[in-house]
A and B are shown apart, each in its own frame.
Chain A
Amino acid sequence: MKTAEIDIDQQIGEVGRILTEQEKMKGVLIYALHQIQADNGYLPGDVLRRLSQNLNIPLSEIYSVATFYKMFHFKPRGKKVVKVCLGTACYVRGSKKVLTALEAEFNVHNGETTDDRALTLETVGCVGCCGLAPVATINEDVIGEIMGKKKLDVLIKSIREE
């Protein structure tokens, strides 16, 4: 996305009428970061520099915000992002075993991307599917009740397939 394309007034909504230009620019910052990440898969440095010029926000401040939130990444990520839920419900039902198994299967550590950039393995606090614990998500799809070898193999298979 071209960072200049963000419609600041539309994004900030009606409340923009009572805000200064600078406050409006700041108000859409997190949204803009989400958009950049959706387009690139991560936050490339040059795009952030352009964003800093467009929004008139110091680059240091953009980095200050972007590094604070867990969801933003500064390194390219895999084509498939697999997140193993380590929320309480999943944890007590053994999601750590799922994580260890995936780490061994794909030879990556938690938070890393495989060398061929096919897969990024991460953990997530809670995806809110506690009823199906333990769960993992592949990109947006939720796979639940990963208990036992059979279900784990299904998960691994669906990660491998294109």
Chain B
Amino acid sequence: MELVEAIVLAVLAASTPLLIAATGELVTERAGVLNLGVEGMMIVGAACGFAGAWLTGSTTLGALCGIVAGTLLSLIFAMMTLGLAVNQVATGLALTILGIGLSGLIGAGFVGEKVTPAAHLHIPGLTDIPLVGRILFGEDAFVYLSLALLVGVWLFLYRTRAGLVLRAIGDNHVSAHALGYPVLKIRLFAVMFGGACAGLAGAYLPLAYTPFFIPGMTAGRGWIALALVVFSSWRPGLLVVGAYLFGAVTILQLHAQGAGFGIPSQFMSALPYLATVIVLVLISRARTGGSTAPAALGTVFVPDR
């Protein structure tokens, strides 16, 4: 039973950065913008988040640094793709390359340092309930925040007028423009929200997941977050299922490595990446009746005034 509890806790921790980054990207993509730079924004968020927390001694300020860094990078992306109508795929790749370089520069001075990991919630009585206590009432703030963020995004997209406008812009920017909605402005906000989430997700890694910074520590999580958005069919409800499923794959392969079934560890480490490919194939195959992607996803929009 102890082991089950430990595994669930580890799965939640491993899933949280995926969930946060994917929630942000979901909003960006729902507005019709494909930002492939999630990995780059995440890794800069990780470096800045760690730097901020190490310098100030505060996890909250560190997380804020990560958010600001991710948002700033997403602004470069917005300037290029919204302002100058540049191809979104290529710009996203450029953002990732730049992000990996920048995080190395920023983080170089912090390799080998440690910070106090994010505090876990403790409610006397509730947290001490056997089995479920620590899982429900003993997480760090990021885990609760990620779920609140997801519910907030769901409410925004499906229960507010602004959310409806955002989805309309993602499906048909020409019609939305003709109706007088500010397509580029709303897309700018959506891109910035995606950047802020990616930065926060990156900051989670050195602030709560492991209390130190390693160059390249996102290890493709930004790309997996992008795959999760596809997996979810751009719906928040399925996103949380996907994120926890991937967290589970990550943790189970770690445990399998520990147990050692005679399978080389590299094969187990490759599992999350192979699972992503397989899931993408299965989900695309199931959708033979037409795509569920926002119709204008990835296309440039130049208003004709």
The answer to whether A and B belong to the same complex is: no
Instruction: Report A's interface with B, CB cutoff 8 A.
Output: none
